Amino acid sequence: MMYGFYGNGGWGNYGWIMMLGSSIFWLLILAAVVWLLVRLFQGRAFTGEPHRDNAQEILRARFARGEIDEDEFHSLSEKLKS
C-alpha cells in the first residue's frame, strides 16, 4: 500500500534526519540542565574536608573551652593581629 507521495508515511528517505534532529534536541536539553546544575552548585565545597576556621576563631574557641587563660588569649590575639 502506498503512503503518500514518498511511500514512507510522507517522510521518504529522510526519516532518519528527523530522528537525529530529535536526539540532538534532547541531548542539548540534557546538557543545558547539567550546565545549570553545575553553575548553581559551583561555589559550594563538596570535598568532604572539614571547614577550616581561621586562627582568631580557633583562639576564641580555645579560650571559651578554658584551654587558655585571659592573659594568654590577649597575648596570642595581639600576635595574630600583627
Tens place of pLDDT per residue across the chain (82 aa): 455 555 555 566 677 788 888 999 999 999 999 999 988 887 665 556 665 668 888 999 999 999 999 999 999 999 888 7
CA angle 47, 51, 57 (to 5 degrees): 165
Measured CA to CA in angstroms, residue 5 lies from 2, 8, 17 at distances of: 8, 8, 18
Which amino acid would we find at residue 26? W
